[in-house]
Amino acid sequence: MRAEEIREMSDADIRTRIGEMEEERFRLKFRSATETLEDPLRLRTIRRDIARLKTIQRERELAASADATTTRRTSQRPRARR
């Protein structure tokens, strides 16, 4: 999954996808402990995809909080200097 694809997703889609990927990662890790996996590199790709999803999710959270802070500061009256 590429970062451009993730950025096109909505916040709800990202949260859903993170949950699905974490569940798949858990199942693969569990299976790898009991048997050999057909594609052991799948664990790496899943882990990295989860990291990409969480990174973009955090970027959006920071952007939203920065917008709220900027709006709050702009609406306040500046203090008079003494």
Token pair in block for residue 1: 């999954």
Domains and CATH numbers, the chain: 3-75 (1.10.287)
Which residue shows structure tokens 């096109």? 8
Token pair in block for residue 2: 């590429």
pTM above 0.75, yes or no: yes
- Cβ-Cβ contacts under 8 Å for 32 (sequence gap 6 or more): 40, 43
Res 70: pLDDT: 76
Cβ neighbours around 5 below 10 Å, total:
9
- Packing angle of the helix pair 41-75, 11-34 (nearest 10 deg): 150
Token pair in block for residue 25: 């990662």
State how far the Cα of 18 lies from the Cα of 24, in Å rounded to an integer: 10
Res 71: pLDDT: 72
pLDDT in tens, 14-53: 999 999 999 999 999 999 999 999 999 999 999 999 999 9
pLDDT band at 80; cut points 50, 70, 90: low
